[in-house]
Amino acid sequence: MKHDERADSELLGAAARGDAAAFGVLVRRYVRPATLLATQLLGDSDDAEDVVQDAFTVVHRSAGGFDASREFAPWMFAIVRRLAANRRARDRRRARLFSLWGGAAASEPSTPPMEDAILTGIDAAASATLAARAMELLSPMQRACFELASLRDLSIAEVAAMHAISESTVRQHVFRARAALRAALGENRGGSADE
């Protein structure tokens, strides 16, 4: 299969005219970052995949009305963020209703769980517990930007579009996260060597 070099807006326009292959190219370009974003927002990979599928359905249905002078990525990621927020709100309502009805309360969505890839990507010498504690010290946005840019190898531009922030803000979050992690892991390693 050859690589399609067309711009996102061209592909979306072609998809609006019924070109399924063009839409397939868009899906392949954005499925991974969209799924990573949804997983960060929801903390569950199955729910994230459902949200991304719904997001691509919205994109396909709305393709004809897309303003080609705007960038596609921020629009796509805004749809993912909105659908994830709707999913979290729905889950909170369900949990509240279950608790009111005396049923087994469904757990409320929380901060996405720490994944093994994050833990091993920080410092191979650090224990998983130490790394998890260090990651918990980061602000949610620092953690999100660091994970996507440093551990998932997405570009700064992609992370900025995913979270609707500037590229310089992403760089700042990643820089601060790295500094905080180095300090936390360095202090803990130094402390354990003295014991």
How many DSSP H helices and E strands does the chain contain? 9, 0
pLDDT computed for residue 151 by the predictor: 84
Enter the CATH code of domain 8-100.
1.10.1740.10
pLDDT computed for residue 119 by the predictor: 41
pLDDT computed for residue 128 by the predictor: 59
pLDDT computed for residue 189 by the predictor: 54
Q: Within the chain, which residue ranges are assigned CATH 1.10.10.10?
A: 116-194
**What SS3 class is residue 11?**
helix
- pTM for the full predicted model: 0.70
Enter the CATH code of domain 116-194.
1.10.10.10
Contacts of 121 (CB under 8 A, 6+ apart): 150, 151
- What is the phi-psi region of residue 32: left when phi exceeds 0, alpha when psi lies from -120 to 50, beta otherwise? alpha
pLDDT computed for residue 31 by the predictor: 96
Nearest-10 Cα torsion for 185, 153, 162, 70: 150
Successive 10-residue mean pLDDT values, the chain, 195 residues:
80 93 95 95 92 95 89 94 93 82 52 43 51 81 90 90 93 91 70 41
